[in-house]
């Protein structure tokens, strides 16, 4: 209620729990209304993926040190900056024909921009303040269901990752949040690290792939990104453990308003 963009979003989506797109609109408005302030987008855009590539460079250096060559690289995907950072140097090798990897983006089933979105020009924020970007998107007006607790609340995907996905250089899957939190709890019990819900999307996919390999007898080196800890997400873990967490997968009808609002270009 403290910004014009926020009030407009609330009027269109009463009681909304918000999204990254909402936060960007409010932050930009707040910054441009103050003398001496600037706002730099910290997710999705190309320069952010470049900055985050240190994650992938460190990962590659560690693997090289021990003579390990990954078969599969898995990362959680909301706006895409974390995934893009993880896969950047590996994708470089793949594009140059030096190696081949199965690169997988894992997104929430409740906010499936890659697996169910459209590749189109769209606003990067819900309030339509920021410039347009060509990306896989559910429409800037799409806001994930209020029951969604697993992070990655963004309507679109990084332009770079969208192009790579469109070219078939990587693939994407979506997972339900109860399965994500099940994997998170399993990981915490085994590794002693409580993972962030965002990270746990990648953990879910890594566990599922490892179990498939166990069944088939295939040997595979799987790398996934553990992006953070979940100590600020205890309410979500509480809901999961109390059986109050539910899954929501938007129907085609739910997605239609967002698609209809895409700019006509």
Please give the tally of structural domains in the chain: 1
List, for residues 137-178, the tens digit of each pLDDT value.
Answer: 999 989 888 888 888 999 999 999 999 999 999 999 999 999
Structure tokens at 78: 């909301």
119 located within any domain = yes
Structure tokens at 66: 């021990």
Least trusted range by pLDDT, from 2-6, 39-43, 110-114: 39-43
Phi, psi of 33 (to 5 degrees): -90, 0
Is residue 265 situated within a structural domain?
no
CA 83 to chain CA mean position, Å: 7
In a domain, 227, yes or no: yes
Is the per-residue pLDDT at 15 higher than 90? no
Judge contact between 147 and 28, C-beta under 8 A: no
Residue 25 lies in a domain: yes
Q: pLDDT (tens digit, 9 = 90+) per residue, 46-65?
A: 999 999 999 999 999 999 99
Burial of 113 (0-12, 13-18, 19+ CB in 10 A): buried
Closest CA to 150 of 125, 175, 187: 175
**Cα–Cα distance measured from residue 155 to residue 257, given in angstroms and rounded to the nearest whole number:** 13
pLDDT at 151: 81
Q: What is the CATH number of the domain that holds 50?
A: 3.40.50.1100
Residue 211 lies in a domain: yes
Mean pLDDT score of the chain, rounded to an integer?
A: 95
pLDDT in tens, 90-145: 999 999 999 999 999 999 999 999 999 999 999 999 999 888 999 999 999 898 88
Which pLDDT belongs to residue 154? Answer: 93
Express as a percent the part of the chain with pLDDT over 70: 100
Instruction: Compare 88 and 42 and report the one with higher pLDDT.
Output: 88
Are 224 and 204 in contact, with CB atoms under 8 Å apart?
no
Domain that holds residue 56: 4-260
Instruction: Give the per-residue pLDDT at 112.
Output: 97
Q: What is the pLDDT of residues 203-229, one digit of tens each?
A: 999 999 999 999 999 999 999 999 899
Contact 6, 23 (CB under 8 A): no
User: Which pTM does this prediction carry?
Assistant: 0.94
* In-domain check, residue 121: yes
- Identify whether 222 is part of a domain: yes
H or E stretch at 161 = helix 159-166
Domain-located, residue 58: yes
pLDDT band at 28 (very low <50, low <70, confident <90, very high): very high
Q: Which two tokens stand for residue 171?
A: 């693939």
Give me the pLDDT at residue 130, please.
87
Q: Is the pLDDT of residue 42 over 90?
A: no
Q: What angle do CA 15, 21, 25 make, to 5 degrees?
A: 90
Total number of residues shown for the chain? 265
């Amino acid at each position: 209620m403290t910004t014009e963009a926020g009030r407009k979003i609330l009027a269109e989506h009463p009681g909304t729990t918000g999204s990254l797109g909402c936060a960007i609109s409010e932050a930009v408005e707040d910054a441009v209304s103050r003398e001496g302030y600037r706002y730099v987008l910290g997710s999705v855009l190309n320069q952010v993926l470049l900055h985050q590539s240190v994650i992938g460079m460190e990962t590659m250096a560690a693997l090289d040190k021990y003579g390990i060559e990954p078969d599969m690289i898995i990362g959680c995907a909301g706006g895409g900056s974390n995934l893009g950072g993880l896969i950047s140097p590996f994708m470089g090798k793949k594009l140059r024909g030096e190696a081949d990897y199965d690169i997988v983006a894992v997104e929430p089933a409740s906010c499936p921009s890659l697996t169910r979105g459209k590749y189109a020009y769209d606003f990067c924020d819900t309030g339509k303040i920021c410039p347009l970007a060509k990306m896989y998107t559910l429409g800037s007006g799409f806001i994930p269901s209020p029951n969604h607790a697993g992070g990655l609340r963004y309507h679109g995907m990084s332009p770079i990752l969208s192009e790579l996905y469109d070219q078939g250089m990587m693939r994407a899957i979506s997972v339900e949040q109860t399965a994500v939190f099940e994997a998170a709890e399993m990981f915490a019990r085994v590794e002693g690290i409580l993972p962030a819900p965002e990270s746990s999307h990648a953990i879910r996919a890594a566990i599922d792939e490892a179990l498939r390999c166990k069944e088939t007898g295939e040997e595979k080196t799987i790398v996934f990104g553990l992006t953070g800890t979940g100590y600020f997400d205890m309410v979500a873990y509480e809901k999961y453990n109390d059986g109050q967490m539910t899954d929501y997968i938007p129907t085609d009808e739910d997605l239609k308003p967002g698609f209809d609002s895409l700019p006509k270009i």
